[in-house]
Structure 1
C-alpha cells in the first residue's frame, strides 16, 4: 500500500489533482509552479528545484511537496530524506494534504529518518481531514493493527469506509481483503464483496478481480460464473495482468466459457510478460503437458523459472523436478 500511496502523491503534485475538496482561488505563486513543472518534465531538475523552492517559499504547498519529492529521489541532487521530510512538513503546514500524507508515510517507514508512529498518526489525521483519502485508509490500517495505539476495529472500519466511499480504490481493495480474511477486522465475506464492488466501480482492477473470485466460488455472494468472467475480462481488457490470468483460467478449464486452450495460452503469455507469476506457472504447465501448445519441456522450465523468480514456490519445485528428470535421463 505504501508504493501505491507514493504514486498517488506524485500524481497529485505534478498533475495538480484536486485532493482538497474545498475550491481555492489561484495562488499568486501558481505561475512559478507551472514553470517548474515544465522544467521538471524537460528533465531540468536544477531549474525545477529552484522554481519549486521559490513558489514553496511563497506559501504554495504543492511546490513544497515537489521540492521534497526531488530530494527524496535524488534528481539533480544527492538523495536526502531529512530534507525531503522537512519540505513535506512545510507543504503540510501550508495546507497541502498530500504533503501531510507523504510525511506520515516517511515517519511510519523510517525511510532515512527516525521512525515515529505518533507523528505518523498525527500527520495522517491532518491529511485525512484535509481530504486526502488514502491517508484516511492509512488511519484504518493504524487502528486495525494497533500501530502505536490500541487496536480499535470499529474506528478502523470508519476510516476505511471514509476512504473507500470517497474513491480511494486501493483502500477499498485492502479493506475488502481484510474483511474477507478477518485480518484486524470482523470477518464478513458479504461485506467484503460489497467493498470490492465499490473499489471496482472506481477502476481498482484488483478489487474487480477479487470480486470475480467471490462470484466464481459463491463466497459472500450468490455464485455467478458469468459475472465472474465479465469482471475478470473487463480487468484484462485494461491490461490488468491478474485479470488476464483469471480469464486464461476460464478458457483453459471451459467451465464458464467454451474451452479454448490455445486462447488460454495466448492470454497467459500476455499476463506472464506483464509480470503475473501465476500466469507464467499456468503457461508452463500447458507447455509441460502439451495442452493448447506443442509440448516443450525447455519452454516449460523457462516459464516455471520466471514464476519462481517472482516468488511462486510451486514453480520452484517444478524447476527442480524438471532438472532432476533431466539429470536422471542423462545418467541412464
Structure 2
C-alpha cells in the first residue's frame, strides 16, 4: 500500500502499522534486528525513551545484539531515561559498551576504549583494556580509534610510556582513513622527525591533505593533539 505523506490520517496509519510490524518481528518472529528497529521506533517516532530503553536492554541481554548494547550504554552514560536518573555506574556503562563491541558493533569498541582510558566516567583507568578495545575498532577501520591510540602514545602516562614511533603508525593509519587531525599530526611528525625520519616533502604533502579535509568538512579549527 502506498501512503500520501501529506495526509495526516495516512501518516498516522503508516506509523501505527510500522509499530505493529516491528512488534511482530521482535516478539513473534524473534528477530534481533526487528527488536532493535522497535527500540528505534519508540525512541525516534514515539519519543518514549522508557520503552525504547527496555527494548534495547532486553535485545542486548537476551539476544546479544551489539547495536542495542551500545544504545543501553549510551542511555546509561547520558541518563536519558527518568528511571535511570541516578549516579552513573561506570562499571555498568563499560559492561554494555564492551558487550556491544564483543557482539560486532564497532563504535561500541571505540567507546569502551575511551572509558578505560579515563577516570572521569568509566570503571577506572586500565591502559591494557583501553588499548585492546581501541585496537579492535582501529583494525576494523574506525578512524577515530586509530587517532585516539596515536594521541595516547603521543602523551604517554605513568601507566604506559610515550612512544612516538607507535603514535606515528596510528596517526598515519587514521590519516589514510581521512581523519583530518591525524593528517595534521603526521605532517608535524615528518616536519620534526618525531617517531619517523624527518622528511619535509612528506610533511608538506600531509599538511596539504589536512587542509583539504578541513576545507571539505567546513568545520571550525581546534587544537591538534600533538606534543611540542
Bin of the TM-score, shorter chain as denominator length:
0.7 to 0.9
Contact 1:205/1:235 (8 A) holds in 2: yes
Alignment-derived partner of residue 63 in structure 1: 34
Structure 1 segment 223-234 matched on structure 2, within 5 A: 223-234=198-209
Contact 2:93/2:122 (8 A) holds in 1: no
Deviations 1:57-115 (A, max 9, x none): 22222222232223333x3x2x2322222121233232321111121122122223333
Alignment-derived partner of residue 50 in structure 2: 82
Shift of 1:46: 4.3
The change in CA–CA distance for 1:203 and 1:148 in structure 2 (over 3 A counts) is closer
* Distance in 1 separating the partners of 2:161 and 2:175: 22
Alignment-derived partner of residue 201 in structure 1: 176
Match of residue 130, structure 1, among 94, 103, 112: 103
Contact 2:19/2:38 (8 A) holds in 1: yes
Alignment-derived partner of residue 125 in structure 2: 151
Structure 1 segment 15-94 matched on structure 2, within 5 A: 45-57=15-27, 58-73=29-44, 75=45, 77=46, 79-92=47-60, 93-94=62-63
* Distance in 1 separating the partners of 2:50 and 2:209: 43
Name which one, 1 or 2, has greater alpha-carbon Rg: 1
Task: Give the TM-score, by structure 2 length.
Answer: 0.73
* Distance in 1 separating the partners of 2:43 and 2:160: 34
Match of residue 152, structure 2, among 143, 164, 178: 178
Task: Give the TM-score, by structure 1 length.
Answer: 0.53
How many pairs does the alignment contain? Answer: 205
Question: Aligned-residue CA RMSD in angstroms?
Answer: 3.1
Contact 1:175/1:195 (8 A) holds in 2: yes
Shift of 1:204: 3.6
Contact 2:147/2:182 (8 A) holds in 1: yes
Contact 1:62/1:99 (8 A) holds in 2: no
Match of residue 104, structure 1, among 55, 65, 73: 73
Unaligned 5+ segments in structure 2 are 6-10, 223-228
> Given the alignment of the two structures, is residue 119 of structure 1 paired with residue 95 of structure 2, yes or no?
no
Q: RCO (CA 8 Å, sep 6+): is it higher in 1 or 2?
A: 2
